[in-house]
Structure formats: structure tokens, C-alpha cells
Structure 1
């Protein structure tokens, strides 16, 4: 039987009273926990399994993204605590100056944008959200053969959010 969760109660990091209720419910096995991927956290309808194997259906508006510590109440009057999994991020950096190759960088940015792969630039690094298979993204980037270009990966916790920009692309 699917436990359906539609009633949002708040987030344990913002609400001390709710946090205490969840601690008590966890100790009494009256709280289900789910671990969601970052992409699933924005969906309006989510089907998943709790940490103890229960089938869970979460229904919410698509205009907000679930956060670590969000709490729902199920139709069976249990609490449902949301956990977000870490996500893998591609990091592009350079081991040598690229100031003599601006056209390569412009072309790289253009291709990333045309693929709608969300990016963010922080300091001297370019972070690419893995919106497609990482091998495909990596091969596309390495095809530019930019000297000194290095690709690595980082794991980001749900609390360490990067705000990626999605390029809007209008075709005429």
C-alpha cells in the first residue's frame, strides 16, 4: 500500500517544535524517511521508497523544490522526513593561462549553452550541472582540445547549493 504525502508541515531547520516532534516520532517509528536525488526534489509527483521499504507518493506544487529536512504528513498520519542525496558536479579548471585562446572559451560557452547544460562560474572554475550523461558532457568539452583544460568532479551536500543558470534560448 502506498503512503501518500500531500500535507507539507515545514522544515526541521526552520521550526524547532517540528524538529522535536520528528525526533520523538523517529524514536517511536512513527516517521518515515526518504532519500531523494536533487533532480527529483523539483518534481510535482514523486514515487519513491522509504528507508524501511514502504512505497511513498509525494504530491506537491512544481513551483518549489524540496529541501533537506522538509516534513510532510502522510494520509496514514505518519511523518515523512525528506533527505536529499549528495550530487556530483563537474568542475572545469585550467592548468595554464588561456588568455591567448578567448575564441575557444567563447565557443565552449556557446556549446554548453546550446546543450542547455546549467553552469556557474566561481573564481577560476566553471561548474557544470550533470544534466546529461557525464561521459557525453566530458567528451563534448574535451573535443575543444583547449590546452591546460582539466575536468574533475566534486560531491556537493544538499546544504551546499550552487545556483546554476539555465540559458534561455529563443530560436527565430
Structure 2
């Protein structure tokens, strides 16, 4: 078993690691596919897609993220790949005043259900769901505001806002 106690870096934050990852042959690059919920753990054991047995034992205040590099050696490069999950996306339509009016209400309703959120650069809000039927529940909770939104179910990599520290139920 290969024991990992620290993260080398992240391909989405470190240009050197990103370039190296892009240039690597598929034989040298191994992936550990993991769910978002499992990324919260700092101790677990997994096999890479090539069968390498990896034990992860990070400090208690550390957690993994999509794109984290666990090993960067000449003959082996191991990276964490987060698995996509079902999320609801909400795009608020209208002028800036409408968005300012609706955004806090939407945040309150989602937060009241203890769901973490992600907001992209265009202001689209994402949050995880257990079943597609939840779109009806949230549409009902949003009431008439739903007339100013595009609400969809997608499967994507969900990376919650770290600063909000929301726990899921």
C-alpha cells in the first residue's frame, strides 16, 4: 500500500502541475475517483484506476479537492477526480434589481434545507439533490419567484463554497 499524508498541489491552481498532467502518458497517470461526500474524509483507502492500493491519512484540518495531486514522481502521477452528481441549477432571469430581490430568498430556502451551494461566474446557483423529484419540491418552495428562474437538473462536479460551511441532512 502506498501511504499519502499530504497533497502535492492541484492541477486547477498550479500551472506547472496542470501542464505536467496534460503532457503525461496514460500509463503514468493514475486516477482515484471519489464522491464529494468522501472528499470530506481525511483517512481512507482506495485503489486507483490502474489498481495501485493507496492509503490516505491527511492532517485533521485537511481535505481533498477535485484535481489534487497525491503523487508526482517520474514513473507515477496520482490525481483525485471527483465524481459528478445530480444537482439543481437555478438561473435567475431579469434585470439586476430582480436578481438582487430574488437571490437572498433563494439562498434562505436552500439553506433552510441544509444544502450547500455553488455559484458560478454567471451567477447560476447549484445545489445537490438526492432525487429528480426534488425539483418539484423546490419549485413549490420558491412560489411565484419560480416565474423568474430557469430550474434544471444536471449531473456535474459540485464544489460547494468553502466559506459557507453548511452541513447536509
State the TM-score, normalized to the length of structure 1.
Answer: 0.58
Matched pairs, number: 151
RMSD: 4.2
2:164 aligned partner: 166
Instruction: Work out whether residues 40 and 64 of structure 2, in 8 Å CA contact, stay in contact via their aligned partners in 1.
Output: yes
Q: Deviations over 1:74-107 (max 9, x none)?
A: xxxx9561232353543212456795xx6x8765
1:142 and 2:139 matched? yes
User: What is the rounded CA distance, in whole Å, between the counterparts of 1:166 and 1:107 in structure 2?
Assistant: 16
2:8 aligned partner: 10
Q: Deviations over 1:113-161 (max 9, x none)?
A: 122212255677441331x414364233111333423212456568xx6
Deviates more, 1:57-66 or 1:82-91: 82-91
Gaps of 5+ in 2: none
State the TM-score, normalized to the length of structure 2.
Answer: 0.59
Q: 2:54 aligns with which of 23, 41, 56?
A: 56
1:151 and 2:157 matched? no
CA 1:166–1:12 in structure 2 vs 1: closer, same or farther (change >3 Å)?
Answer: closer
Counting helix residues as a fraction of each chain, which structure ranks higher?
Answer: 2
CA 1:63–1:12 in structure 2 vs 1: closer, same or farther (change >3 Å)?
Answer: closer
The within-5 A match list for 1:91-170 is 91-95=89-93, 99=98, 108-121=106-119, 125-130=123-128, 132-135=129-132, 137-144=134-141, 145-146=143-144, 147-148=146-147, 149-153=149-153, 163=161, 166=164
Deviates more, 1:109-118 or 1:83-92: 83-92
3-state DSSP of counterpart to 1:61: coil
Q: Deviations over 1:5-47 (max 9, x none)?
A: 234361374466xx59x959x44xxx75322233322311223
Q: 2:82 aligns with which of 81, 85, 91?
A: 85
3-state DSSP of counterpart to 2:44: strand
